[in-house]
Amino acid sequence: MELTIRIYPDHVLREKSKPVSTFDERLQKIATSMTEFMQRLDGIGLAAPQIGILERIIVVDIGRGPLYIVNPEIIKSKGKEIFEEGCLSIPGASVQIKRPFLIEIRGCDIEGKEIHIKAKDLLARVIQHEIDHLQGKLIIDFLSKEALLKFNMNYNPTLPAFQVRGRE
Ligand SMILES: [Zn+2]
């Protein structure tokens, strides 16, 4: 199966992802592919739909090694902070987004073991961004109508850096 990084306006990015119920070799392979893509693109997070897989899997790496969260669920959040976000699936976009800076997440690791994580600041930010992807939500959804129109008019999704392919 050939995998490519999905770039807005690819419809896959707008779909809702399904929970993972089988923790097998295939899931391991997906996780490995996701990390490869993320590293090749110099990203700090990636969600499975960004490589065309509509399953609730995210990977985050803010410099401490990849953290996989399967079926992530935010169970608590606190505070509000505005920070600029970009997205590997929307080259050139950067949006100021207000989000909680402290969150608690429940989910599983790729072996299916339950995990419970408290995250703050950048880690909390990236996790929330990736969870949005699992709902089909993108950073440009935080723009005003006017700003979105302007963004779409100037959007050029064919930047060579994003023509990245890989194999599962
Ligand atoms: Zn993104």
Average pLDDT in the chain: 93
- Measured in Å, residue 113 CA sits from the centre of ligand 1 at 26
Number of domains in the chain: 1
Q: Classify strands 67-78 and 102-108 as parallel, antiparallel or unpaired.
A: antiparallel
Contact 120, 102 (CB under 8 A): yes
The pair of three-digit structure tokens given for residue 20, joined into one six-digit string: 């993972």
Which of 120, 91, 67 shows the shortest CA–CA distance to 7?
91
Encode pLDDT of 39-57 as tens digits.
988 999 999 999 999 999 9
CATH of the domain at 68: 3.90.45.10
In a domain, 2, yes or no: no
- Measured in Å, residue 45 CA sits from the centre of ligand 1 at 7
Whether 130 sits among the annotated catalytic residues: the reply is yes
pTM of the complete model: 0.93
| Domain enclosing residue 148, as ranges | 14-155
